[in-house]
Amino acid sequence: MTKLQDQLFAQQRSKALLKQAQKAAFDYIDKQSKQRVFPNKENLKKLTIFDETLPETTSDPASLLDILDTVGSVNTVAQTGGRYFGFVNGNTLPVTLATKWLTDVWDQNAALYVMSPIASKLECVCQNWLNQLFDLPEHTVAGFVSGTSIATLSALAAARFHQLQKLGWDVNQQGLFGAPKIRLILGKQTHGTVAKAISLLGFGQSSIEWVDCDKQGRMVVEKLPRLDQSCILVLQAGNVNSGAFDDFSPVCQLANQAQAWVHIDGAFGLWAKASTLFDEQTKGLQLADSWSVDAHKTLNTPYDCGIVLCKNAEALTSALHQQGSYIQFSEQRDGLLYTPEMSKRARAIELWAAMKYLGRAGIAELVEQLHGHAQLFARLLTDNGFTVLNEVVFNQVILSCETEQLTQDTLVLVQQSGECWCGGSTWHKKSVIRISLCSWATTEQDIRRSVDIFIQARSQALKT
């Protein structure tokens, strides 16, 4: 054995590093409620300790972990607490965090059954459970990817393959040069990652036909262009600002009649299907051809847990085609067939843990809790003179103050307070404050405490 191997085996046997990491993690959890939501300037300055040249020799691993604990912990954003309302970032359920710790030790590659039978099995189980939860056809297949951005890219790749195939063109063999024209139909409030995916797939922005949206960001059905079998249409389950859902039933019926492909971007909103409270918003969702969703948002699994769902298994697997003489396929599920990745983390195990723990009733309770907290936040802000600009149909609140400058100044002061954190956005060409309720840990007390900060920040902004 080499000297390095001796060191690594010794570290593995002693488990001292894991115990050190565990203690640091437990301390972080214990201090979580008292920690600033965003680091202060003093702690941010400490990050300069990482500015060094590449070490020439091995480092002491215990010292390395100590630096991460003492400097890293205080420079995190406390989104696992109850007062982080930015970027639709979820928390982590305790069971999914514990599952991730265990599976990190396993370090499984979920590309093939022969690489990880447990990952393959639980991907199958999650696929079935997702179809049941979202009321999708039994033959719908799931690919487990890093997030909705890649899920959307995968779904649109499947749509591209299928729609061109119908037009007599094999994009895998013939490429896109000289291919029949594909029409992309998007609402003007479509998330930017969809347009990015379209560019990566070689269509170009000029291929997009933009459809007007109403004041809540929903696609106006009457403004749809004539659809045909060359079309790929993208709808939203949860507008990134307002949380609004497109009217799926009429749009999907028109698309199905025209043989257009419908994809629903449901990064955080698709989970609303779990509760009958949102039956009106999610009506007709199952009529689409593909869907994308994040478990690390609304469902509160750890990050890197996105899902693409597709009715047409052949279209998805053909679009994400993988070759290699060394690849050993099996009669079981081989995960790489349904994703752009080959080597990939066994992220579906955490998804299984979340769905197994919560069950249908728990998922419904979670989404209803997020919605209720958004309604409370909106009501308290309105009562205190802020203007809420959206119908709070799910977990999003967008608001403004009397002037655009006051809105911007208030947001800066809220972020600087360290008491809570939310982001800004532009809504109908005006600056707004955007609040996302995504954490299981948020309480009514957290919301009232945060509203007090909004009031103080606005008062301070008025004085400057």
Confidence band, pLDDT 50/70/90 cuts, at residue 34 = confident
**What is the distance between the alpha carbons of residues 108 and 117, in angstroms, rounded to a whole number?**
10
Single pTM value for the model: 0.96
**What is the distance between the alpha carbons of residues 72 and 68, in angstroms, rounded to a whole number?**
4
The reported pLDDT for the residue numbered 327 is 84
Q: Is the dihedral of CA 195, 201, 204, 207 positive or negative?
A: negative
Instruction: State percent of the chain over pLDDT 90.
Output: 94
CA 289 to the chain's CA centroid: 20
At a CB cut-off of 8 Å and minimum separation 6, what does 310 contact? 140, 141, 142, 143, 154, 155, 158, 289, 290, 291, 316
The reported pLDDT for the residue numbered 323 is 78
51-108 confidence digits (pLDDT tens): 999 999 999 999 999 999 999 999 999 999 999 999 999 999 999 999 999 999 999 9
Confidence band, pLDDT 50/70/90 cuts, at residue 187 = very high
**What is the distance between the alpha carbons of residues 345 and 291, in angstroms, rounded to a whole number?**
21
CA 194 to the chain's CA centroid: 13
Q: Which residue has the tokens 């900060």?
A: 453
At a CB cut-off of 8 Å and minimum separation 6, what does 30 contact? none
Chain region(s) in the chain for CATH 3.40.640.10: 99-355
Chain region(s) in the chain for CATH 3.90.1150.10: 361-463
Model confidence at 434: pLDDT above 80? yes
Model confidence at 152: pLDDT above 90? yes
The reported pLDDT for the residue numbered 316 is 97
Instruction: State percent of the chain over pLDDT 70.
Output: 100
Domain formed by 99-355, architecture: 3-Layer(aba) Sandwich (3.40)
| Overall average pLDDT of the 263-275 stretch | 98
Model confidence at 178: pLDDT above 90? yes
Fold (CATH) for 361-463: Aspartate Aminotransferase, domain 1 (3.90.1150)
User: Pick from 313, 439, 303: which is nearest to 369 by CA?
Assistant: 439
* Residue 40 Rama label (left phi>0; alpha psi -120 to 50; beta): beta
pLDDT, averaged across the chain = 96
The reported pLDDT for the residue numbered 204 is 86
The reported pLDDT for the residue numbered 206 is 86
Burial 400-419 (b: 16+ CB within 10 A, else e): bbeeeeebbbbbebbbebbb
Please, how many CA atoms are within 13 Å of residue 216, restricted to the half-sphere of its CB? 18
Model confidence at 325: pLDDT above 80? no
- Taking CA atoms, 130 is separated from 92, 134, 286, in Å, by 19, 6, 12
359-391 confidence digits (pLDDT tens): 999 999 999 999 999 999 999 999 999 999 999
The reported pLDDT for the residue numbered 358 is 98
* Residue 418 Rama label (left phi>0; alpha psi -120 to 50; beta): left
Number of residues that this document lists for the chain: 464
Provide the token pair at 350. Answer: 């955490």
Return the minimum-mean-pLDDT range out of 35-44, 323-332, 382-391.
Answer: 323-332
The reported pLDDT for the residue numbered 106 is 96
